[in-house]
Amino acid sequence: MKKNQLGSSDLEVSEICLGTMTFGEQNTEDDAHAQLDMAINYGVNFIDTAEMYPVAPRAETQGLTETYVGSWLKHQKREDLIVATKITGPSRGFEWIRGGPRINQAHINQAIEGSLKRLQTDYVDLYQIHWPDRYVPMFGSTSYDINNEHDTTSIMTQLEALSALVDEGKVRYIGLSNETPWGVSEFKRCAKEAGLSQVVSIQNAYHLMNRTFEAGLAEVCRHEDVGLLAYSPLAFGHLSGKYLKDPQAKGRVMQFPQFTQRYSKINVPEALQAYAFIAESAGLTLTQLALAFVRSRWFTSSTIIGATTLAQLKENLETVHVALSDEVLSQIEKVHQQYPNPAP
């Protein structure tokens, strides 16, 4: 499997990253280990998790995902793998995580120690802020509302605490997630100004029906040498096509409807049908079209895939052999112009 350099780091990450947020909720520990084994056998060297996982988040299961990854990781050759995890941000409740998570020195130190213990490792290769400490519109919200602003830890203070972890050898590189162009720029500016660790990656949603990354973040990340880790490339299963065939099909949409608001917006069904038509005309599945498109973008360092069954995972992994023709890419652009970002 092809490897890409992750931003300004020396990490060479597989073009497919195994996402693990189903481990501990939809997948048992045995399921998790089987998925990890399959991914590694296909050439994946990059695993992404988070202290918050599994999803949907619950106090009873929080941390199980890292625990399942850790019980597998202790039997592997650690230096051959790139393990990423995330610290939970505020603004979404989750009072069971450190009494209400923040991104400050005390919380960062407590969070990394918990993750390292669950992962059964001395270090993580990439430590990411799951979403900003400050208010930003995200997870389907697109307009900035100043009435939602709240007290926040300064970006400089966050960087100082994260850089200390790098100096201590507990973290190799730091990254962001669910960030904005201003946020990336400010993290970069503060790091340069104070000689602190640089952000090397951003993990944001990116798929055929949400290409908002291309507007401002693509420019910032190019000039600041930040790699995109594209999550939700199948739009919570919608771009697998299964809900086109059966709106009541078994999956996360049915199991966790609270996470599907962004896929209930205007033009989503029309866009899905249009992309499905392109895929069928090209002799591809919609899954193949969707994942190959994300991989084809110049700014994508790795595409994060997740699955609940080995059959789904196998299908996703084998899309690395699919390359989209110029004609297919042109057809995708025409649909994008007609239905721009219906599910941001």
Residues catalogued as catalytic: 53
**Residues in a beta bridge with 229:** 203, 302
Instruction: Count the Cβ atoms, other than its own, within 10 Å of residue 99.
Output: 9
**Residue corresponding to tokens 């500016």:** 189
What is the sign of the dihedral through the CA atoms of 320, 324, 203 and 61? negative
CA distances for 26 relative to 51, 59, 61, 71, angstroms? 17, 16, 11, 18
CA distances for 88 relative to 173, 209, 265, angstroms? 17, 26, 27
- The three-class DSSP label of residue 57 is coil
Q: How many angstroms separate the first and last alpha carbons of the chain?
A: 30
Q: In whole angstroms, what is the distance from residue 218 CA to residue 310 CA?
A: 33
- The three-class DSSP label of residue 266 is coil
Q: In whole angstroms, what is the distance from residue 57 CA to residue 97 CA?
A: 10
